[in-house]
Amino acid sequence: MTRESNRIPSMVKNRKLVEERRAQIIRGAQELFMRKGFHKTTTREIARECGLSIGTMYEYIQTKEDVLYLVCDHIHSELEARLKEALSETETGRESLMKAMAQHFRVMGELSDWVLLIYQETKSLPKEARKAILEREKEITALFQEILERGIRDHTLHLDPTSVPLMAHNIMVMGQMWTFRRWALAEHYTLEEFTRRQTAWLLQECTP
Amino acid sequence: MTRESNRIPSMVKNRKLVEERRAQIIRGAQELFMRKGFHKTTTREIARECGLSIGTMYEYIQTKEDVLYLVCDHIHSELEARLKEALSETETGRESLMKAMAQHFRVMGELSDWVLLIYQETKSLPKEARKAILEREKEITALFQEILERGIRDHTLHLDPTSVPLMAHNIMVMGQMWTFRRWALAEHYTLEEFTRRQTAWLLQECTP
Amino acid sequence: MTRESNRIPSMVKNRKLVEERRAQIIRGAQELFMRKGFHKTTTREIARECGLSIGTMYEYIQTKEDVLYLVCDHIHSELEARLKEALSETETGRESLMKAMAQHFRVMGELSDWVLLIYQETKSLPKEARKAILEREKEITALFQEILERGIRDHTLHLDPTSVPLMAHNIMVMGQMWTFRRWALAEHYTLEEFTRRQTAWLLQECTP
Amino acid sequence: MTRESNRIPSMVKNRKLVEERRAQIIRGAQELFMRKGFHKTTTREIARECGLSIGTMYEYIQTKEDVLYLVCDHIHSELEARLKEALSETETGRESLMKAMAQHFRVMGELSDWVLLIYQETKSLPKEARKAILEREKEITALFQEILERGIRDHTLHLDPTSVPLMAHNIMVMGQMWTFRRWALAEHYTLEEFTRRQTAWLLQECTP
DNA sequence: TATGAATGAGAATTCATTCAT
DNA sequence: AATGAATGAATTCTCATTCAT
């Protein structure tokens, strides 16, 4: 599930066991990183929280940064999975877009603490890992690009093809917006209102 | 200039000197925080970079977090000042909006490393300081709200008044977008194209 | 042995090891505190003296004050143990008192550097610990109260019962006297003479 | 008044001014040392408390230890002066002794916080200064020796002359006792009861 | 595989003292 | 005489990582 998990070497050979223990580690660390941030969480705390000894934990990772990577990767997997739930090839592009945006905002709202985590702690990752995380981000963005393109093909969305990447990114950013600026937005709008208005705005741009 | 600077107590009484030395500290720390991040920068490095002994530096701050606050506050001041340069009361709201958005995106592009800094390190600030930083963010957003409202009043912008806060935040987020996702956007658009398209999109929403 | 030792949390689980390492720490610190005082002794010196790395030492204590507490507690244990050696239930109260006083003065003389340590550094302890140390002091005083009361019961000591606490404290203070004012007393008296005179003085008060 | 004050060199030549400023310093420092102890009090705090700038303060002392010495010396002066108030050459030795003991206990009770200070912080003084402080202690003890000797000479006190120093020290220690062990003694006795019992005990020894 | 004691470089902060003004 | 900004050595404590059992 945590797709990139195999990028991180482990001392332990048994694949199944590695998978299982890392799930434990992710569960414990996620909670802690969210509450205290990456830097203020110690490896000891992570070990304790996930029920392993430090020695054992280090059999499954190499550095503390690995844990952060594991967590970020897992969150991305979750985001992507939840988004894909709402996708269907049988609908028109326009319908798909509306559903996808609604789901995207809903998920970003529900997992907002996790999303925050990704955007705030990614910079603590070593270059390679940071790149891999950006790649995931790109992939999710690509999902929206595909929907937009499908809409163009089936003539339910009228949009200059050169605007497709921009609009996909705009959608992504709208999602983040709900997690980063909720402190201000929630004073004025509910998630449903927010979704309705933003979707309407975007769709209008895609209407002849 | 660094408006909130007087929130942080100093051992040194001479106001002028405090102002001056803190400017030194900000200059040195900004550079380092940008390059290495807050946590990986040591107080000794900051002191060395800004040409003070640690002892002396600590006469002007109380904790390392104070330096971060000083830096964030300074960046916000810069952003706000640069944005205000482009504002003028004599134009129509629509004209103002176009200029302000262009300037905003330009500034966010130029200072993108600094902007990144604010959004990534703010969480390391103590609660009080974090709140003060959010306040600054609100104030800049308010500038766009005022422009939008002026446009509504002078009938050059047609927008449901309840959408004003949302659109102001959308503009803010578009600015951040250019700093956070430039790695992806710059593959497709120049800053000018980005500005043109986003402005057009937003203005269309404000056209009957 | 260092009875209160378990009040101080340790990172290390193995009870036996904790006992052992703390004994090491006490041994090293006692010597240093005696020579240089608590404040002028650094944690690194303590670690070096007791053959542990600082990191390791800090696995067994939480703060430098903990070391002081451990040392004070250990000294009290020693004092109490040595005093109890001389006690016997089978003798008359009067005989007991004489033996106990002699032993007390002897021990206070032998361990005078340690005793000095307790009385001079206790104030550097956090409140809770200071209270625990006073408690030990009370317990030793109580030993003398019991002897006096036994003497009253078996009619070998004639003393107003309301004077029992006062006399017990007087004995304690006589013991400290030999450590605190030896610089002056030793010019005139040997420990034996001191013991004889003070015992005689006190016993006379307890003779009809 | 602070007799030994001239042992400590000052940058300032004007004797009167030195006297005056040092009195200021003593007043401020005494309070702080009592509350926080010598080590936890900073020179800056002392300067602030006594209304001088640090620079100025250092014109009148050489090191922080000097301040401690000044304070201890001043306390001793106070103790001695208060004790001497109660002395009179015209009474019998016995009467003198009773009055002196009562006054001694009273003063030690009243100034107990200061007395504590002397006994707990003296060890922080450099050797020379520590010796000077012990000298003061000796002098006060000598006052009691003189009274005892006068009593022997005028036949109102019957005491083996070789016991004179011991008894003088016993009196001194009884005084300290009331400051050091008040936490326990005050549960059983008032200062008056304490004085009466201790005086009676001592006088009995001096009665044929 | 699992454990957890050991390590020590490294970090933030303090504070007595000086000295140019 | 008075001031107070500057200094930097010194101090306590932390924590990611290793490795012998």
Q: Are B133 and B118 in contact (CB under 8 A)?
A: yes
Q: Give the distance, in angstroms, between residue B198 CA and nucleotide E21 C1'.
A: 59
Phi first, then psi: give them for residue D179, nearest 5 degrees: -90, -35
Which nucleotide's C1' sits nearest to the alpha carbon of D55? F3
Contact residues, chain C, for D173 at CB < 8 Å: 173-174, 176-177, 181
Interface of D with C in 81-100 (CB under 8 A): none
What pLDDT sits at residue C20?
96
CA distance B202 to B198: 6
Three-state SS sequence of chain D? CCHHHHHCCCCCCCHHHHHHHHHHHHHHHHHHHHHHCCCCCCHHHHHHHCCCCHHHHHHHCCCHHHHHHHHHHHHHHHHHHHHHHCCCCCCCHHHHHHHHHHHHHHHHHHCHHHHHHHHHHHHHCCHHHHHHHHHHHHHHHHHHHHHHHHHHHCCCCCCCHHHHHHHHHHHHHHHHHHHHCHHHHCCCCCHHHHHHHHHHHHHHHCCC
Q: How many angstroms separate the Cα of D77 from the Cα of each of A204, C147, D70, D133, D172?
A: 92, 41, 10, 11, 16
Residue A51 has pLDDT above 70, yes or no: yes
Minimal-distance CA residue of chain B relative to A172: B177
Q: Give the distance, in angstroms, between residue C55 CA and nucleotide E6 C1'.
A: 8
Q: What is the pLDDT of residues B61-103, one digit of tens each?
A: 999 999 999 999 999 999 999 999 999 889 999 999 999 999 9
Q: What is the pLDDT of residues A58-70, one digit of tens each?
A: 999 999 999 999 9
Q: What is the pLDDT of residues D97-121, one digit of tens each?
A: 999 999 999 999 999 999 999 999 9
Residue C180 has pLDDT above 80, yes or no: yes
* DSSP assignments along chain B, one per residue: --GGGGGS--S---HHHHHHHHHHHHHHHHHHHHHH-TTTS-HHHHHHHTT--HHHHHHH-SSHHHHHHHHHHHHHHHHHHHHHHT--TTS-HHHHHHHHHHHHHHHHHHTHHHHHHHHHHGGGS-HHHHHHHHHHHHHHHHHHHHHHHHHHHTTSS---GGGHHHHHHHHHHHHHHHHHSHHHHTTT--HHHHHHHHHHHHHHHT--
Nucleic strand F contacts from chain B, 57-86, CB < 7 Å:
58-59
CA distance D74 to C3: 41
Does residue D55 lie within 7 Å of nucleic acid chain E, judged by its CB? Answer: yes
Instruction: Please give the helix or strand (H or E) that residue C57 lies within, else none.
Output: helix C54-60
Q: What is the pLDDT of residues B7-56, one digit of tens each?
A: 899 999 999 999 999 999 999 999 999 999 999 999 999 999 999 999 99
**In this structure, what DSSP letter does residue A43 have?**
H
B104: pLDDT confidence band, cut at 50, 70 and 90?
very high
Minimal-distance CA residue of chain B relative to A168: B185
Residue B15: Cβ-neighbour burial (10 angstroms; 0-12, 13-18, 19+): exposed
Q: Are B147 and B83 in contact (CB under 8 A)?
A: no
Q: Are B116 and B180 in contact (CB under 8 A)?
A: yes
Minimal-distance CA residue of chain A relative to B200: A205
Does residue B19 lie within 7 Å of nucleic acid chain F, judged by its CB? Answer: no
Q: How many angstroms separate the Cα of A175 from the Cα of each of A178, A181, B170, B183, D145?
A: 6, 10, 11, 19, 90
Among D97, D208, D81, D75, which Cα is nearest to D150's? D97
Among D104, D134, D107, which Cα is nearest to D118's? D134
Which nucleotide's C1' sits nearest to the alpha carbon of B10? F5
What pLDDT sits at residue B204?
93
For range B163-172, the mean pLDDT: 98
A109 touching chain B per CB within 8 A: no
D36 touching chain C per CB within 8 A: no
B195: pLDDT confidence band, cut at 50, 70 and 90?
very high
For range C84-106, the mean pLDDT: 95
Residue D5 has pLDDT above 90, yes or no: no
Which nucleotide's C1' sits nearest to the alpha carbon of D57? F2
Three-state SS sequence of B7-57? HCCCCCCCHHHHHHHHHHHHHHHHHHHHHHCCCCCCHHHHHHHCCCCHHHH
What pLDDT sits at residue B9?
94
B205 touching chain A per CB within 8 A: yes
D124 touching chain C per CB within 8 A: yes
Residue A1 has pLDDT above 60, yes or no: no
More confident residue, C205 or C156: C156
Q: Hey, is A8 helix, strand or coil?
A: coil
CB atoms within 10 A of CB B36: 12
Q: Are B147 and B103 in contact (CB under 8 A)?
A: no
Enumerate residues 6+ apart whose C-beta is below 8 A from B9: B62
What pTM was computed for the model? 0.93
What pLDDT sits at residue C88?
87
Residue A4 has pLDDT above 60, yes or no: no
Contact residues, chain D, for C188 at CB < 8 Å: 162, 165-166
What pLDDT sits at residue D98?
96
Does residue C16 lie within 7 Å of nucleic acid chain E, judged by its CB? Answer: no
For range A154-170, the mean pLDDT: 97
Residue C199 has pLDDT above 60, yes or no: yes
Q: Cα angle at C41 between C38 and C46, to 5 degrees?
A: 110
What pLDDT sits at residue A3?
62
State the nearest residue by CA to the C1' of E8.
C55
What pLDDT sits at residue A97?
97
Q: Are B60 and B21 in contact (CB under 8 A)?
A: yes
Q: Are C24 and C71 in contact (CB under 8 A)?
A: no
Per the rule left: phi > 0, alpha: psi between -120 and 50, beta: everything else, D51 is left
Q: How many CB pairs under 8 A join C and D?
A: 71
For range D139-158, the mean pLDDT: 97
CA distance C118 to C170: 19
Q: What's the first-to-final CA gap in chain A, in angstroms?
A: 41
The partner residue sitting opposite D39, judged by closest CB among C39, C170, C197, is C39
CA distance C88 to C67: 34
What pLDDT sits at residue B5?
64
Residue of A188, A204, A206 to mutate when probing chain B, most B C-beta within 10 A: A188
Q: What is the pLDDT of residues D120-135, one digit of tens each?
A: 999 999 999 999 999 9
B3: pLDDT confidence band, cut at 50, 70 and 90?
low
Does residue B36 lie within 7 Å of nucleic acid chain E, judged by its CB? Answer: no
For range D78-106, the mean pLDDT: 95
The mean pLDDT of chain A is 94
Nucleic strand E contacts from chain B, 51-70, CB < 7 Å:
54-55, 58, 62-65
CA distance B31 to B26: 9
Q: What is the pLDDT of residues A16-48, one digit of tens each?
A: 999 999 999 999 999 999 999 999 999 999 999
B58 touching chain A per CB within 8 A: no
What pLDDT sits at residue C57?
98
Partner-chain contact A169 B181, CB within 8 Å: yes
B4: pLDDT confidence band, cut at 50, 70 and 90?
low
Any idea which residue has 């809770």 for tokens?
C128
What pLDDT sits at residue B2?
61
Quote the percentage of chain D above a pLDDT of 90. 92
For range C42-58, the mean pLDDT: 98
Any idea which residue has 């940071």 for tokens?
A130
For range C96-100, the mean pLDDT: 97
What pLDDT sits at residue B206?
83
Q: How many CB pairs under 8 A join A and B?
A: 73
Phi first, then psi: give them for residue B39, nearest 5 degrees: -70, -30
Q: Give the distance, in angstroms, between residue B40 CA and nucleotide E11 C1'.
A: 10
CA distance B35 to B45: 12
CA distance C198 to C192: 10
D55 CA: distance to closest CA in chain C (Å): 26
CA distance B84 to A18: 55
A158 touching chain B per CB within 8 A: no
Q: What is the pLDDT of residues A167-200, one digit of tens each?
A: 999 999 999 999 999 989 999 999 999 999 999 9
Exposure string of D95-113, with b = 16+ CB inside 10 Å and e = fewer, is ebbbbbbbbbbbbbbebbe
Chain F nucleotides reached by a protein CB under 7 Å? 1-20
CB atoms within 10 A of CB C204: 11
